């Protein structure tokens, strides 16, 4: 078993985006591509302490892990903590990094993007706090990768990852762990499992959790079926390398089977789903879907009902495009509400500094200081705990919330597969016209202010520019434009529409109805017609 140096031509395109390096699977399968990126990580951050590795179980996960293990061993990593069968959900990996006091972790995932030879793959490097690396680290890795011409790998047989226990590879110890055990213990410490168990057993109550054939299957079985005693509630629980051919994003379009049950004749009282790597969530009641921004606000407003959060909310944060429903709750609670750029990495320093306890994004991600990633099953348990404590249905919890705080009607429109340069030109056009917006009226709406969001991390002082164009309307409306940072081909323009209303009638209108007018305002402001944009490819 000797370390071998392998030479290759440098890869110029390994700059991590919103959530690590995400590319088509085929790109990762090119000779040396994955190995080069892993070596770049280990040059930027030498693996002098234990590392956690695992992934969402998608196609190429197993092969990629073997490559990572052999490169880590050749680079002197003393210990690797690996999920059995190479599986770890993103939040469970974050938890293991923290509980094992590791140097960090390598998480293999392209989140909710489809898997398979024609799908996507991704590699994310998290730091010792369990959070996705900050931009200075990802930039350092990128800088190394641009000129890197060789990596060092141990020549060895594949390591058996199917049984838990410790083995050796060269001088590296490899510990294979049950992926769900530590995570489920953590959940038991945060939530009132006795009360949730009672709710799940109550006559007439039933739930369905859609794991979408992705990583949460084994976690959901451990939590809901074993520890909470509700057999049969997990749908599509087997982890399949192609995620069953689906697109594991927990929204009503992609969780069609669950939605059919929730809208059917005898729906479960509670429906939920998570995404490919287990960090996103969707909450549904019979014929009632909770918008992700509302879910975040509800979690914050109900912290007093949750053992792990009662009396300890120091502050909250949301990504800029997320609706301002959270801000209204924060004001009521008398705690600060931070507004960060898109991507979980910006919450890390606020969580570490104790400035916030809860945070989330409009893209169905919410989390807290229990780990440093968003956490899908955590959100589902939080909701169950709220319902158990309040004795209310999903819909009643949300309607009460709107009655107290007002409603933020919200929708996101995605324009996918755009030409990269044209999309950049559209954004530049908007930036160039920023000063002109507040001086006039846009399709009958007055713009109060317009800017390109910039963020200064209040803890580290790091500055992030050009994070999205926002138009704040005088009547409580808001329109945000930004380009996606997770796409793997072409550009995706995201347009976020939000309309606040305290009128009781707002509760009975659909979210799309509430923001319908803003769609025309957005199209006009960004000159969609001259860019050939008409209908969004996706609405959430
Ligand atoms: C998207 C979401 C963002 C989330 C990220 C990773 O990024 O918008 O909130 O953090 O996926 O799950 P985007 O494609 O918009 O850059
Ligand atoms: Zn995800």
What is the pLDDT, as a whole number, of residue 126? 95
Q: How far is the CA of 120 from the centre of ligand 2 (A)?
A: 13
- What are residue 346's DSSP bridge partners? none
pLDDT tens for 238-296 read: 999 999 998 999 999 999 999 999 999 999 999 999 999 999 999 999 999 999 999 99
Asked whether residue 155 falls in the same domain as residue 230, the answer is no
Nearest-CA residue for ligand 1 atom 10 is 343
Q: At what angle do helices 376-390 and 292-301 cross, to 10 degrees?
A: 50
Asked whether residue 16 falls in the same domain as residue 143, the answer is yes
Q: Say if residue 2's pLDDT is above 90.
A: no
Nearest-CA residue for ligand 1 atom 6 is 19
pLDDT tens for 503-535 read: 989 889 999 899 999 999 999 999 999 999 989
DSSP per residue, 175-223: EEE-TTHHHHHHHHHHS-HHHHHHHHHSTT--EEEE-TTSTHHHHHIII
Asked whether residue 376 falls in the same domain as residue 343, the answer is yes
Q: Is 111 a catalytic residue?
A: yes
Residue where a domain terminates, one of 405, 421, 438: 405
Cβ-based neighbours of 191, under 8 Å, separated by 6 or more = 306, 307, 308, 381, 382, 384, 385
pLDDT tens for 150-205 read: 999 999 999 999 999 999 999 999 999 999 999 999 999 999 999 999 999 999 99
Asked whether residue 174 falls in the same domain as residue 192, the answer is no
Asked whether residue 385 falls in the same domain as residue 489, the answer is no
Asked whether residue 309 falls in the same domain as residue 427, the answer is no
Q: How far is the CA of 243 from the centre of ligand 2 (A)?
A: 13
320-346 mean pLDDT: 96
Strands 469-473 and 337-340, sheet pairing: unpaired
What is the pLDDT, as a whole number, of residue 168? 96
Q: Say if residue 84's pLDDT is above 80.
A: yes
What is the pLDDT, as a whole number, of residue 218? 97
pTM: 0.95
Number of domain units in the chain = 3
C-alpha atoms less than 13 angstroms from C-alpha of 272 in its C-beta half-sphere? 29
Q: Which of 111, 349, 363, 501 is catalytic?
A: 111
What is the pLDDT, as a whole number, of residue 488? 72
Asked whether residue 337 falls in the same domain as residue 367, the answer is yes
Strands 491-501 and 407-418, sheet pairing: antiparallel
Looking at the CA of residue 322, tell me the nearest atom of ligand 1.
9
Asked whether residue 516 falls in the same domain as residue 470, the answer is yes
Pocket of ligand 1 (CB under 6 A): 18-19, 111, 319, 342-344, 361, 363, 365, 484-486, 494
pLDDT tens for 94-138 read: 999 999 999 999 999 999 899 999 999 999 999 999 999 988 899
CATH of the domain at 414: 3.30.310.50
Residue where a domain terminates, one of 405, 426, 459: 405
* CB 229, CB 200: distance < 8 Å: yes
Asked whether residue 372 falls in the same domain as residue 422, the answer is no
What is the pLDDT, as a whole number, of residue 486? 79
Asked whether residue 172 falls in the same domain as residue 208, the answer is no
Residue where a domain terminates, one of 352, 374, 405: 405
Q: Say if residue 19's pLDDT is above 90.
A: no
Asked whether residue 113 falls in the same domain as residue 189, the answer is no
- Testing ligand 1's pocket by substitution, the residue of 110, 342, 362, 488 carrying the most ligand atoms inside 8 A of its CB is 342
443-462 mean pLDDT: 93
Nearest-CA residue for ligand 1 atom 5 is 343
The residue range of the domain holding 492 is 407-539
* CB 302, CB 390: distance < 8 Å: yes
Strands of 120-126's sheet in order across: 21-24, 120-126, 104-108, 51-55, 79-87, 172-177, 165-169
Closest listed ligand to the CA of 366: 1
What is the pLDDT, as a whole number, of residue 442? 84
Asked whether residue 139 falls in the same domain as residue 197, the answer is no
End-to-end CA distance of the chain: 52
Q: Say if residue 1's pLDDT is above 90.
A: no
Q: Say if residue 72's pLDDT is above 90.
A: yes
C-alpha atoms less than 13 angstroms from C-alpha of 80 in its C-beta half-sphere? 31
What is the pLDDT, as a whole number, of residue 135? 85
Looking at the CA of residue 19, tell me the nearest atom of ligand 1.
6
Looking at the CA of residue 112, tell me the nearest atom of ligand 1.
12
- Testing ligand 1's pocket by substitution, the residue of 486, 489, 540 carrying the most ligand atoms inside 8 A of its CB is 486
């Amino acid at each position: 078993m000797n370390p071998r140096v392998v030479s290759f031509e440098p890869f110029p395109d390994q700059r991590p985006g919103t959530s690590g390096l995400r590319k088509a699977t085929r790109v990762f399968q090119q000779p040396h591509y994955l190995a080069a990126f892993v070596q770049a990580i280990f040059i930027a951050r030498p693996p002098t302490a234990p590392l956690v590795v695992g992934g969402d179980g998608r196609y190429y996960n197993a092969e990629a892990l073997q490559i990572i293990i052999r490169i880590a061993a050749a680079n002197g990593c003393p210990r690797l903590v690996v999920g059995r069968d190479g599986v770890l959900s993103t939040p469970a990996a974050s938890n293991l990094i923290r509980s094992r006091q590791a140097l960090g972790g390598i998480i293999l995932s392209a989140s909710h993007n489809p898997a398979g030879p024609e799908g996507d793959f991704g590699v994310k490097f998290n730091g010792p706090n369990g959070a996705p690396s900050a931009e200075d680290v990802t930039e350092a890795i990128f800088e190394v990768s641009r000129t890197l011409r060789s990596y060092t790998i141990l020549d060895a047989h594949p390591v058996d990852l199917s049984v838990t226990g410790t083995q050796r590879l060269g001088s590296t110890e490899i510990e294979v762990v049950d992926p769900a055990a530590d995570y489920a213990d953590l959940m038991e410490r945060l939530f009132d499992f006795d009360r949730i168990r009672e709710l799940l057993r109550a006559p007439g109550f039933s739930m369905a959790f859609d794991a979408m054939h992705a990583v949460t299957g084994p976690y959901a079985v451990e939590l809901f079926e074993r520890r909470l005693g509700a057999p049969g509630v997990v749908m599509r629980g087997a982890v399949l390398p192609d995620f069953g051919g689906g697109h594991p994003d927990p929204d009503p379009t992609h969780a069609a089977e669950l939605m059919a049950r929730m809208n059917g004749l005898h729906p479960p009282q509670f429906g939920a789903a998570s995404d490919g790597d287990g960090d996103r969530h969707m909450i549904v009641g019979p014929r009632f879907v909770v918008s992700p921004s509302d879910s975040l606000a509800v979690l914050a407003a109900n912290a007093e009902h949750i053992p792990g959060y009662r009396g300890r909310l120091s502050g909250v944060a949301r990504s800029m495009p997320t609706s301002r429903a959270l801000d209204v709750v924060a004001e009521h609670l008398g705690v600060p509400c931070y507004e960060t750029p898109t991507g979980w990495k910006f919450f890390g320093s606020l969580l570490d500094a104790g400035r916030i306890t809860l945070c989330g994004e409009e893209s169905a991600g919410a989390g807290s200081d229990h780990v440093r990633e968003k956490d899908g099953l955590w959100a589902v348990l939080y909701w169950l705990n709220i319902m158990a404590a309040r004795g209310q249905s999903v819909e009643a919890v949300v309607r009460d919330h709107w009655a107290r705080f007002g409603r933020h009607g919200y929708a996101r429109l995605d324009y996918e597969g755009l030409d990269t340069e044209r999309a950049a030109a559209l954004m530049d056009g908007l930036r160039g016209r920023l000063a002109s917006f507040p001086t006039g009226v846009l399709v009958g709406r007055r713009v109060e202010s317009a800017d390109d969001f910039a963020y200064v991390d209040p803890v580290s002082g790091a500055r992030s520019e050009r994070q999205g164009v926002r138009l704040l309307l005088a009547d409580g409306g808001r329109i945000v434009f930004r380009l996606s940072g997770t796409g793997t081909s072409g550009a995706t323009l995201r347009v976020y529409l939000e309309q606040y209303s305290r009128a009781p009638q707002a509760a009975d209108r659909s979210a799309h109805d509430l923001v319908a007018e803003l769609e025309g305002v957005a199209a006009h402001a960004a000159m969609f017609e001259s860019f050939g944009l008409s209908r969004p490819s996706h609405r959430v």
